[in-house]
Amino acid sequence: MRQAGLAAQAMLSFVRSFITDRISALGLLSGEVDCEVWRFQMRLSFQETRNDPKAVVYTRCTIDLPSRDVRLEDVPCRNLEEVLGGFGRSFQILGERTIVNAFTPENPLIVNTGILTGSSVMTGLRTYFSAYSPLKVSAKGLPGAMWSAGSDKFGCKLRWTGVDELILEGRASGPVMIVLRRGSEGPTVEFKPADHLLGLSCHDKIMRLQKDYPQDAHFAVIGPAGENYEACYFAAVGLSTENQLKSGDDKCRWAGRGGMGSVMGYKNVIAIVAQAPDQMGKLKPEIRDINRESATGPGSRKFREKDKGGLGGTWAHYEVFNPNNLLPQDNFRPKGDDKPWLMSRTVVEPQFFIKAESCYRCGINCHKNVYDKTAEGGRGRFRAKFDYEPVNLLSTNLGIHDPNQGADLISLVDRLGMDSISVGTTIAYVLDYNERHPEKPLFNGARFGDFERVKELIEGTGRGRYPEIGRGVKRLSERLGDTAYAMQCKGLELPAYLPDTNPGYPWAIAGGHMSMATHLLYPAERDQSVDYWAKAITQRGLFQVRDDMLGICKFTIMSPDMAAQALKHEVGLEITTQELLATVRHAYIRGLWMERKQGFERSEYTLPSEVFDRPNSKLGLGGPFVTREFFSALSEKVWSVFDQELVNFTL
């Protein structure tokens, strides 16, 4: 059953090649990085040229929810971060606020887009939700700033209404739906009661809204978890997709991390409707070439199907990680047995019908949608989308190795509107605790592999019955006084990559693998030196955040030059690759600055202590290497770089 030998080695070689392609595409091969040049050549203002940021104006819609006062204004950009958009703009707004509790009227929910969202650039589909998070919290009890991103057409429709940024202030007195439309004289805003949507799943809310807005509309909604925000801090925002609206299948995309759906629930905003005709311009030859490269080039190779020269999507991590015992299992503790392989695509595919599908107008087809297989071998009922994170964290890492059960849990989490990473990792802790403390088990006594009880824990968490789980693994483990195996950094649950092989986790500013690209480096390069990892964090990994400014999908892995060309030919913004990289770095450093502002101390930039105190001898590729001594030396080197930039940081 174990896929060892030549096949596994060939797959590992492919992944190494992919990661090298990725690093090369980002222009971040060792020796090519000069942080000093980036910092000091960055032009924060272009007053002497035609590319003055102040010449770039975006439309902001600010809504005071208690009074329903709406303010539409054209806002000139102050710097390149605001021009590019996404968290580069929202974090500047959040940084001006003093917030001591995520659930307070002063904490805004900012919904915005990147400069390429809604453009002719193929993956320009991203919407960003930013706020101070109820989940990410310092030891002083202050919430950390956070953003979460989702794809498909909602962000495009938002921009096509004429709104680039929506800021929700205060809290509505009752459940409300906000409808944004493109009017003859600009954007219009309408408020409607949303009581009829309460209790429905995210998918059912979207399908109900489609009946009321059948033309030119897309939707952002919260599910039962967001409605129960006081008991569930990791509620997600579900975004409608073209595939979903056409097929009727539950195929939302998600802004999942950090509890942005919980903040939306606190504000009593149950849904946002963006209704506008499509505004696609004529495709320029230069953008056509960029799109072709994005769909067929080395950057997206990992995410494409094997018959298109790809690796088969994120689910294919099973084929690489399992032979080397790097798959999270039973709360991030690989056992070296064959059980995880039962959730691999190789084993699952003969039992189901699997179709590679995509977001709106994207040619990568990274979604691996799983359907029941009919007696004739055709496509039956839709079951779930099998991405690596939900598959692992809602099956293998819970001791569940049945793909039917895994599909049921993934679907349940989606219906309730929760972040699969946070709920899966927190419940894995519960199961682990119950294994270690059989004399005083938590909740329903569930243990690894107990599908029915795990399902009940998930349902109860999303419905608000288990606030101890819903408030995250950090708070739960601290309440129990048993934190060593709570898999989190700074209050955010870890994604499905072992902390034993990724000492870069603590310096992620908005989710362990989406804002620090160090999670795949060890399987590819196998370097255990402190110097290697310090450079990986301070010179390579942080540039993962770039695409959360531009509005494009990370799966294309555009080179800096390609991104600069896209900006030039699509929106007429001419900046050098050095200026682009410097702007991204400055935005990342702003994120670290905001963490310090909210009381995060150096001691909180660490890994779960079990990584240091109970090294797992089952790990392959050289075994465990992240000791306390290693991490202490790494931390000193990382902070020697970042501290200098923080001291010199200018808002």
- Residue-wise pLDDT tens digits, 339-386: 999 999 999 999 999 998 888 888 887 888 999 999 999 999 999 999
| Three-state secondary-structure class, residue 388 | helix
Select from 267, 259, 161, 258 the least CA-distant residue to 218.
Answer: 161
Report pLDDT digits (tens) over 487-522: 999 999 999 999 999 999 999 999 899 999 999 999
Average pLDDT over residues 408-426: 98
Closest CA to 143 of 594, 606, 650: 594
Specify whether the CB–CB gap between 61 and 187 falls below 8 A: yes
Which range is least confidently modeled, 32-46, 267-281, 291-305, 573-587? 32-46
Number of C-beta neighbours around residue 484 at 10 A = 12
Query: In the prediction, which pLDDT does 496 show?
Result: 97
Q: Where does residue 622 fall: left (phi above 0), alpha (psi -120 to 50 degrees), or beta otherwise?
A: left
What is the radius of gyration, based on Cα positions, of the chain? Answer: 23
CB atoms within 10 A of CB 617: 9
How far is C-alpha 115 from the geometric centre of its chain's CA atoms? 19
Helix (H) or strand (E) holding 157: helix 154-160
Whole-number pLDDT of residue 15: 52
Q: How far apart are CA 277 and CA 415, in angstroms?
A: 29
53-275 under CATH 3.30.365.10, yes or no: no
What is the per-residue pLDDT for 52? 77
If you average pLDDT over residues 224-244, what whole number do you get? 97
Using the predicted structure, report yes or no on whether residue 32 has a pLDDT greater than 70: no
**13-38: average pLDDT:** 45
Residue-averaged pLDDT of the chain: 91
For residue 233 the two structure tokens come to 């801090």
List phi, psi (to 5°) of 278.
Answer: -60, 145
Tell me: the pLDDT tens digits for 433-451?
Answer: 999 999 999 999 999 999 9
pLDDT at 356: 86
Question: Would you state the structure tokens that stand for residue 1, as one six-digit string?
Answer: 């059953």
Average pLDDT over every residue of 113-124: 94
Domain range annotation of the chain: 53-275
Distance CA 560, CA 557 (A): 9
pTM of the predicted model as reported, rounded to 2 decimal places: 0.94
Q: Which pLDDT does position 41 carry in this prediction?
A: 26
% of the chain beyond a pLDDT of 70: 92
What does residue 364 show for φ and ψ, rounded to 5 degrees? -80, -35
CA–CA separation, 413 and 470 (whole Å): 12
- Residue 25: pLDDT above 60? no
User: Residue 413: pLDDT band by 50, 70, 90 thresholds?
Assistant: very high
How much is the pLDDT for 403?
Answer: 98
Q: Virtual CA dihedral for 150, 154, 159, 164, nearest 10 degrees?
A: -40
Portion of the chain with pLDDT greater than 90, in percent: 80
Spell out the alpha helix ranges (H) of 194-299. 202-212, 224-227, 242-247, 260-266, 285-296
The answer to which of 38-42, 207-211, 461-465, 557-561 has the lowest mean pLDDT is 38-42
Question: What is residue 28's predicted lDDT score, i.e. its pLDDT?
Answer: 44
Query: d(Cα 298, Cα 345) in Å, to the nearest integer?
Result: 22
DSSP 3-state of 339? helix
- Report the range of poorest mean pLDDT among 291-295, 349-353, 358-362, 605-609: 358-362
pLDDT of 40: 25
User: Could you tell me where the DSSP H helices lie in 394-493?
Assistant: 403-416, 420-436, 451-462, 467-470, 473-480
Mean pLDDT of 556-570: 91
Q: What average pLDDT does range 144-170 have in this prediction?
A: 97
